[in-house]
Structure 1
C-alpha cells in the first residue's frame, strides 16, 4: 500500500517533489507510521525502484526465452505496453519512472545504480542478434539505451490512446525499431547522415557560460535540472554554477517557476527550428533524418541539452499540461514528415505516430547523457534501413 502510493506520487511529482508526509496522507497514515516501515525517504525510494526493476526484469526474462532477437523485442514491448495498460486501468500497481534515477541520492544511490546496470545488461542481451561480433558493442549498447528510453517515454504519449490499443501500438513501435523507416532507395542517406554527424567532436568548455545572460541561466538550469531533478535544484545552486549572485538570477528571471517555463520554451524553440530547417529537404525521410539528427547534435553540443519532460513536475498543473500539449504538437510535425515520406516513397509504410515518438524519445527526452555520443548511433540506427533485424 505504501509502495503503491509512493510510486504514484513519485511518478506524478518527481522524487524531490514528494515527502514522507505526502505518502502517509495518501494512504491515511501518520508520518511516523510510514517511518516504521521506511526509516528515511531514501529507503522508500530504493524500495520503489527495487520493485520497478523486479517487474521490468521479469518482462525481460520472459522475452529472453525466445531464440531470436526480433521475437524478443516484440514480446518485450507487447508485455511492457500491456503492463502500462493494466496500470492505467488500475489492475496493476504504479511503478516509478526510470528518468528519476538521476536524482537518487544518499546511501541508496549505489545499490540502486548497480541494480539498474544489471537491468541494462539484460536488456542489452535482449537486443543482441545471434552471433554478433564484439566490434558491434557500441551499436548494441545504443539499442539497449534506445529501448529503455523509449519504454519510459511511452508513459508520456501512450495515454493519448485507449488502453485496449496499447499492445497494437507496441507492435507498431517494434516494427520501426526492427526494420527502420527508410525505403530501400533511402538507405544510403541514413548511413551518410550517421557518419557525417557522429564523427564530429563534441566539447563543453567551462568558458561557455562565462558571460552572464538570460541564456546562460537557462542553459545552466537545464543542465542542473536534468542531472538533479527539478526539485533538487535551487536558485542558489543555479547561480553558484555560474559564479553569480542570487541578485543576478533575479535580474534575468522572475522566479524559479518562470525560469522552468522559459527552459521549456527554449527547448521547444530548438525543436521547432530543427523541424523548420529540415522542411526544405527533398523528401520526407531526409526531413525526418535531418531534424532528428540536429536535435541529437544539439543535445551533445555546448548549447545543449534539451530539458527533460519530467521537469514539468515543477510547474502548476495548468502549465504542466500546456508543456505536454506543446510537445504533442511538435511530435505531430515529426509524424507529418513520416507521412510525407510514405507519399513520396522515401519511407516505407509505417505507423507515423510510432515513428514520430521514437524520434521524440531519442532527440528530446533520452536517458542518454548529454556527453554520450551513443545517441547518434541510436537515432540514426532507428531511421535507416540498417536497423536491428
Structure 2
C-alpha cells in the first residue's frame, strides 16, 4: 500500500512538472509551436514518456488551462473573502504581484495566457470558458451587490478591466526589479482605485480632427485592407492558430492564391495587422497631443476615439494576445513599439500632472493600465453593444480610468 502511494505521488509530481513546462512554452511561443517533444526536453524526458501522462497534445493544453483557471479561481476567492471592496482590490493586486515575484525566484506557479482557448474543439473549450466566466463573476462581486442592470453592467466592466490589467502585468513587470514590486503594487492599486484625473469623474472629450484611424464605410476598400480587417477580427476571436489562411480566404470569398499574392506567409499578415493597429493608435494619440486644452481632456478624447473603434468600428485594433505565436525577433519588435506608445501616454500624463488636470500618479504604471484597458476593450464589444446608447457604453467602461474602480462603492 505504501509503495502504491509513493508511486501515485511520483506520478502526480511528474505530471505537474510536465504541465508547468508546457505552461512556460505556451506563454513563450504559443500553443501551435509547443510540441510534446519540446515539453519533454524541458524536463529531461523523451517524447514517449510524455504520452504516458498525456496521450495527445490537446489533453496537455487543456490541463495547462485548467491549472491556470484553478489558480485564478483561488486568487479571486481569496480576495473576495476580504471585508470591503478596497481591501479586495488591494488583495487581488497583491496576489498577482507576489505570483510574479515567485516566478522570478524560479518557483512554479505561472498563469498561462488564455488567448488560444477558442482554438480548441467546442467540446474542450466550453467547460474552460464556463470556468472563466465564474472567475469574472467572482471578481464582479468585489464591488458589491449588482442589484440593478446598470450596476451589473458597471461591475462587469470593472471586473473585465481589472482582469485585463493583471493579465498584462507579467509583460510589463519585466521592466522592474522585484525590489521595486511593493512600490509598483501600491501605484497600481492607487490608479485602479481612484482613477487618473485631478477632478474625479471628469469626462468631457472632444472630437478629434482627421480621423484616419476610422474605417471608411463609404469609400472603396482595397483588398489588402479587407485582408487586414478580416484577419484582425479573426485573430482577436480565434487566436493565431484559429485564424487559418483557409478561413481568412473563405471569409473574403477569395482563393488561397490571392492571399499569398498579398502576403508571403501568415506571420507577415499578423505583423501587418499589428502595424496597422499601432499606426491607427499612434495617429489618434498625435491628434490628441496636438489639440488644444488641458492634457486630461486631450487624453480623454484619445481614449474616447480608441474605445469607439474597439466597440463599434468595422476594423478593431489587434489584441496583443497574437504576440504569442510570433517568432521572438518579430515579437520583440512589436513589444518595443507597444512600449513606445505606452510611453507617449505616459508623456501626456506627465504634462497633465504639470498643468494640474491629472492627479500625482505614476505615469509609467498608469500608461500600462491604459494600454491593457484599450487592449481588452475588444473583448467587451458584445457588452458595449447591449447599450442603447454607444456613448453610455464608452462612459461606463472608461469610468475605471476617469473615477476609479471604487467609485460609489
Measured after TM superposition, the shift of residue 91 of structure 1 is 2.1
- For residues 78-135 of structure 1, give each alpha carbon's deviation from its aligned partner in whole angstroms, at most 9, with x where no partner exists: 1111101211221233231133333333422111111111111111112x13686554
Aligned residue number for residue 200 of structure 1:
none
> 2: distance between equivalents of 1:131 and 1:242?
42
Q: Does 1:353 align with 2:364?
A: yes
Task: Provide closer, same or farther for how the CA distance between residues 365 and 138 of structure 1 changes in structure 2, counting only shifts above 3 A.
Answer: closer
Aligned residue number for residue 89 of structure 1:
105
Name which of 153, 160, 173 aligns with 1:138: 153
Measured after TM superposition, the shift of residue 380 of structure 1 is 1.5
Measured after TM superposition, the shift of residue 315 of structure 1 is 2.7
Check whether the contact 2:27–2:324 (CA below 8 A) recurs between aligned residues: no
Aligned residue number for residue 123 of structure 1:
139
Q: Which region of structure 1 is more displaced relative to structure 2, 335-344 or 315-324?
A: 315-324
Check whether the contact 1:187–1:384 (CA below 8 A) recurs between aligned residues: yes
Q: Does 1:263 align with 2:278?
A: no
| Correspondences of 1:225-374 after superposition (within 5 Å) | 225-279=235-289, 280-366=291-377, 368-373=379-384
> 2: distance between equivalents of 1:384 and 1:67?
25
How many residue pairs get aligned? The number is: 377
| Correspondences of 1:144-183 after superposition (within 5 Å) | 144-183=159-198
Check whether the contact 1:305–1:370 (CA below 8 A) recurs between aligned residues: no
Measured after TM superposition, the shift of residue 244 of structure 1 is 0.6
Task: Provide closer, same or farther for how the CA distance between residues 293 and 148 of structure 1 changes in structure 2, counting only shifts above 3 A.
Answer: same
Task: Provide closer, same or farther for how the CA distance between residues 209 and 62 of structure 1 changes in structure 2, counting only shifts above 3 A.
Answer: farther
Task: Provide closer, same or farther for how the CA distance between residues 57 and 260 of structure 1 changes in structure 2, counting only shifts above 3 A.
Answer: same
Q: Does 1:71 align with 2:82?
A: no
> 1: distance between equivalents of 2:264 and 2:77?
49
Task: Provide closer, same or farther for how the CA distance between residues 134 and 313 of structure 1 changes in structure 2, counting only shifts above 3 A.
Answer: closer
Aligned residue number for residue 8 of structure 2:
none
- For residues 246-291 of structure 1, give each alpha carbon's deviation from its aligned partner in whole angstroms, at most 9, with x where no partner exists: 1211222232222111111101101101101111141111122111
Name which of 61, 76, 99 aligns with 2:77: 61
SS at match of 2:383: coil
Measured after TM superposition, the shift of residue 175 of structure 1 is 0.9
Check whether the contact 1:153–1:365 (CA below 8 A) recurs between aligned residues: no
Check whether the contact 1:7–1:48 (CA below 8 A) recurs between aligned residues: yes
Measured after TM superposition, the shift of residue 41 of structure 1 is 2.1
Task: Provide closer, same or farther for how the CA distance between residues 81 and 351 of structure 1 changes in structure 2, counting only shifts above 3 A.
Answer: same
Note the residue ranges of structure 1 that are not aligned, 5 or more in a row: 197-203
TM-score (norm 1): 0.89
Task: Provide closer, same or farther for how the CA distance between residues 352 and 265 of structure 1 changes in structure 2, counting only shifts above 3 A.
Answer: same
Note the residue ranges of structure 2 that are not aligned, 5 or more in a row: 1-16, 208-214, 386-392
> 2: distance between equivalents of 1:105 and 1:148?
25
- For residues 160-213 of structure 1, give each alpha carbon's deviation from its aligned partner in whole angstroms, at most 9, with x where no partner exists: 1112222322221111111111112x734x1x449x9xxxxxxx9xx9999551
> 1: distance between equivalents of 2:85 and 2:322?
34
